[in-house]
Amino acid sequence: MTLQRYFIDDAVWEAEAAPETPVFVSGKRIYAITTIGGATHPFGEWHLRGKMGGVWAHPLRVLDGWTLTLEAYSATTPLDQATSCDLFGAYITRRFMVGDLALEWTEFAAEDQPHYYATLLVRNEGALPVDAAVVLRAEADLRFCWFGGVDPAEPALHILPDGVAWRAPGAYAGVTAILSSATPAAWEVAGRAAQARFPLNLPPGEALALQWRLAVQRDDAPSPGNVLRAAVDTLSAKIALYRSMAGEMRLETPDGDLDRCWQVARQNVRMLMADYRPTLAPYLLAGLPEYPQLFGCDTAYSVPGVVAGGFADIARSALEELGRYAWRACSRVPHEITTNGRIFHPGNIQETPQFAVACWDYVRWSGDLAFLERMYPVCVEGLEHFGATLEGSGYPIGDGVVEVPGMGACKLDTVCYLYQALASLREMALALGRPHDAIRFAGYAGALAARFESDWWIAHEEMYADSLHLDGRQQFDGHWTVVLPVVTGIASPERARRALDRIMREWVNEWGMIHTRGADSRVWTLPTGLLALAALRNGRADDGLRLLRRIGETAQHGTFGTLKELIPQGLCFIQLWSAGLLLQGITEGVFGLDPQAHRRELAIEPHLPSRWQSAALHGLRVGEHTLDLRITPEIVEIHHLKGNTSLLARYRFAPDQPWREAQLTPGRRMLLARED
């Protein structure tokens, strides 16, 4: 077993785990999925089976992995069973002890270049000198991403003065992978494998460091330079980046674990940033090891939390890329785009309305009307796919976010997201000065909501149907999508309350919201996060907090410091929407924030859990404004740290209270008090 230690703020989470536990070493242009113990492992079950791990510079996989072996004390010891592995977000360090030799193996990726590094520090802690050697063995691989459309290549390896390079012709031409070392060594190649031996002579108390770099470059790229200097500079820059990020936004609540989970979620968003230009514009990986692709619904679910968490730029880029693909497909938003730019799945029916909602979520947090001008035509044209429904004839037909055979042709989630998209389009039209469009979208939304109540509500179930058949017959299967009428606002207030009460009784176990009542008891972070948001917005703050904490707790199961796809763990070991929904649940749920950044407004309706006396969020960004925010049962305290203009705060402490207003002046602090 390997002692896994994760360092976050002033805390250390630690527990023993199997050496083959996966770990993600991230960079925007290159990443590795390896193990905490140090061995290579065949990650990947459903896509490239056994090949989703290793080192990726998408759309290419370039290295199956590298291994280190120590030759000392007349024995050969593979470094694949680390005694401990320290995880820092920016890098990982494995530790080994062989005789009197203490070894620290650190791996990290450059943030903005396709360069991946390993360093090994060997220290003699004994009283006698030690003659030893370290052998590095790397298994080259050249293959395109899943559904990349190109067969794997047989790379040709060439020995260089300071390392080895491999490349292949055809679709791979012009790209070279170069593995080099800072210390001279004799390299050998055999088939796909490259190997080098590095002698060590260590007097008592002395240490020696070895550095290696894997650089993936095109023929016209400049030389990556000296390995030693680049390794030091790259790691220093990476550590500085993650430290600055930790200080940008901070959550302070009575629950220290939740505060740290906030930082974990923001760190996970940073780790999942990808820049694979010119193939794809920067976006966020959906989940690893299986889903590094650009997804429609995964991005849409994550945008509110990603932007609220301080990452507006990457959210905008991802939405614009989806919008570009949608425009070429008559504004149908794709579900899944491979990392070499091919559309694997053209999009389920709910994907297009979800995109419109996500675009508005981005704008209301960022105030970016220039983006809205570009995306508005895509969102409006996307509605033409729902023409019959908007004219009052039936409902959209086809798969939604739940893809389960045997359901009716019309799915609950599609109708809910279509309603939410219409409400969002009304707001978009008003923001862009198109009142006639706003009236039209509001009319569509109102008519859809009225029909929905009569067609989808099952009185004896006290719940909405999961699907409708073409003859109007209702079908109730108990999928997690029963929460969506509450989340999207299409349910009437009274029925939303009744549905939420039943969901909390029958769809929630110790870990969160189950997938399907009576059929699939797995708990996913997606429905759990949406239910948490619904609970917080509907007067069940304690339930909402409990569900958010369950998402956060996945960071202490399996791989430490990553939010999983299932609760407590399972499927992808790092999942984008898990981070996004946790961030959204805190900002829009607990703090009750509803920004309208384009109007320089922020609505605040706190939902404090019963045992909390206060909560604070430092460094919150609303458009051009930066705020410190503290809430208690009686006051909202706001410090307007940065902004060129004043910000209008609209606030109330309970739904039955009128909204009150206050102008927040830059540089000033203001207390907004409760009045019953």
| Strand extents, DSSP E, 37-192 | 54-57, 60-72, 75-78, 84-87, 92-98, 101-109, 115-124, 130-144, 156-160, 163-167, 175-181, 186-190
Q: pTM here?
A: 0.97
Per-residue pLDDT at 619 exceeds 90: yes
The pLDDT of residue 344 is 97
Residues 317 and 302 both lie in one domain? yes
pLDDT band per the 50, 70, 90 thresholds, residue 634: very high
Lowest mean pLDDT among 225-229, 255-259, 450-454, 628-632: 225-229
Residues 577 and 650 both lie in one domain? no
pLDDT in tens, 143-154: 999 999 999 999
Residues 282 and 381 both lie in one domain? yes
Residues 349 and 257 both lie in one domain? yes
Residues 274 and 128 both lie in one domain? no
Residues 268 and 226 both lie in one domain? no
12 phi, psi to nearest 5 deg: -130, 120
pLDDT in tens, 528-584: 999 999 999 999 999 999 999 999 999 999 999 999 999 999 999 999 999 999 999
Residues 653 and 510 both lie in one domain? no
Residues 522 and 628 both lie in one domain? no
Report the CATH number that the domain containing residue 641 is assigned in CATH. Answer: 2.60.420.10
Residues 578 and 620 both lie in one domain? no
Report the CATH number that the domain containing residue 518 is assigned in CATH. Answer: 1.50.10.10
Q: Which domain holds residue 603?
A: 598-673
Considering its fold, how many domains does the chain have in total? 3
The pLDDT of residue 403 is 79
Residues 487 and 524 both lie in one domain? yes
Q: Which of 660, 661, 672 is nearest to 632 (CA)?
A: 672
Which of 542, 565, 590 is where one domain is finished? Answer: 590
pLDDT in tens, 343-374: 999 999 999 999 999 999 999 999 999 999 99
pLDDT band per the 50, 70, 90 thresholds, residue 676: low
Q: Select the highest-mean-pLDDT range: 219-223, 227-231, 476-480.
A: 476-480
Residues 84 and 181 both lie in one domain? yes
Which of 244, 263, 284 is where one domain is finished? Answer: 244
Residues 266 and 167 both lie in one domain? no
Per-residue pLDDT at 126 exceeds 90: yes
The pLDDT of residue 218 is 85
The pLDDT of residue 404 is 85
Report the CATH number that the domain containing residue 203 is assigned in CATH. Answer: 2.70.98.40
- Region 66-87: mean pLDDT is 97
Which of 244, 268, 291 is where one domain is finished? Answer: 244
Distant-in-sequence contacts of 233-239, Cβ < 8 A, 24+ apart: 234/108, 234/110, 234/115, 234/117, 235/90, 235/91, 235/106, 235/108, 235/117, 235/119, 237/111, 238/90, 238/91, 238/108, 238/109, 238/110, 238/111, 239/88, 239/90, 239/91
